Structure 1
Amino acid sequence: MTIPTETRSIFITGLKNAHAMENQALSIMKPQVSRIENYPQVARRLEAHIGETEDQIRRLETILGDFDEDHSTLKDWALSMTGAMAAMGHSMAGDEILKNSFANFAFENYEIAAYNSLVTIAELGGFTNATASLEANLREEQAMAQWLEDNLRDVTIQFASLRDMNEDAKI
């Protein structure tokens, strides 16, 4: 089977974008974890997802390598800087933990959409060797998004309770 050149090109661009997206995720999560004091359940889950994200990056690099391609250093750097700036912006908010929770949930859903698209392109292009890794990344992002959704109420209640007791509730 001949792979259409454009399908391959779209797939490689998507993989490079996903690699940069995962680096952006690390630049968002790592500063959050380093600042969390009052929400150990959030810190534990973020630490676990940082490990998953590092695995996702390795999977993407393997797929790119299978196509004799490499990630885009410029995209990785640009999105990492964007993520770091977003994390810094939230650190100044009085409700930092809530803003981080909202942003993390939105970002996880963005990643889910990206991986759904990549799986579809892999299927269209016949890139069957890539599908299992992309689906693994997708499942991890779905699990993280579900965890964030399931725990938002508890985090919000904890934040409000700390504020009611005049405690530092930010993070």
Structure 2
Amino acid sequence: MATKHENLVSWLRDAHAMEQQAERMLTAQKERLHNYPKLRTRIEKHIEETLGQRETLERALTRLGSEPSTLKDMSGKLMAFGQAMGGMVMSDEVVKGAMSGYVFETLEIASYTVLIAAAKAVGDTQTQQDCEAILQQEIAMADWLREHLPELSQAFLDRSDTPGLEAKR
């Protein structure tokens, strides 16, 4: 059975892979967004946050005598690639991408909530504080997506109803 410390390290490695996946998905989505500047701008901001989160997780793993899992990171990258390819064929890619992004943000929120509890359980206040800061960024992104889904959906519907306008992205 794994110790509290071992579980914390394993979950930090999972979170690192999750952030690798997030960066790939967000970057692929951003590169294809042409007609939705608000969403593109918010995604660009979250990519920067995601890169910082990944660095924070790497520092935490180093402090705990570990490093990111190459296997988990590669799995995350492959999943992100599959999601990006799948999104490209949907006629409502922008809406489905925003919905998927919201779902992914809630997964990240759950992950950092667990990491905060684990860090607290082992007395690692630095990791706890780092994960609390990351959690706030994930909550902010999820809130932004939830608040903008109606507007984004309406913009997509308006564009799809207008001949000659691309709505997909």
Pick the TM interval, shorter chain: over 0.9
> Separation in 1 of the partners of 2:42 and 2:81?
19
User: 2:167 matched to 1:169?
Assistant: yes
Residue in 1 aligned with 2:27?
30
User: 2:115 matched to 1:118?
Assistant: yes
Contact 1:122 1:128 in 2 (8 A): yes
Residue in 2 aligned with 1:71?
68
Match of 1:159 among 156, 161, 164: 156
User: 2:57 matched to 1:60?
Assistant: yes
- Return 31-40 or 125-134, whichever deviates more: 125-134
> Separation in 2 of the partners of 1:137 and 1:129?
12
Residue in 2 aligned with 1:134?
131
Q: TM-score, normalised by structure 2?
A: 0.97
DSSP 3-state at the match of 2:3: helix
> Separation in 2 of the partners of 1:87 and 1:144?
19
- Return 34-43 or 122-131, whichever deviates more: 122-131
> Separation in 1 of the partners of 2:71 and 2:41?
31
What residue identity is the alignment partner of 1:7? K
User: 2:77 matched to 1:80?
Assistant: yes
DSSP 3-state at the match of 1:93: coil
For 1:44-71, what per-residue CA distance to the aligned partner results, in whole angstroms no more than 9, with x for missing partners? 0000000000000000001111011100
> Separation in 2 of the partners of 1:41 and 1:125?
41
Number of residue equivalences: 168
Contact 1:27 1:81 in 2 (8 A): no
DSSP 3-state at the match of 2:68: coil
Contact 1:112 1:141 in 2 (8 A): yes
**What CA RMSD, in Å, does the superposition of the two structures yield over aligned residues?**
1.1
> Separation in 2 of the partners of 1:115 and 1:15?
9
Name structure 2 gaps, 5 residues minimum.
Answer: none
Match of 2:104 among 90, 102, 107: 107
TM-aligned CA deviation for residue 27 of structure 1 = 1.2
User: 2:93 matched to 1:96?
Assistant: yes
TM-aligned CA deviation for residue 84 of structure 1 = 1.2
Residue in 1 aligned with 2:38?
41
Q: Where has structure 1 moved over 6 Å in runs of 4 or more?
A: none
Q: TM-score, normalised by structure 1?
A: 0.96
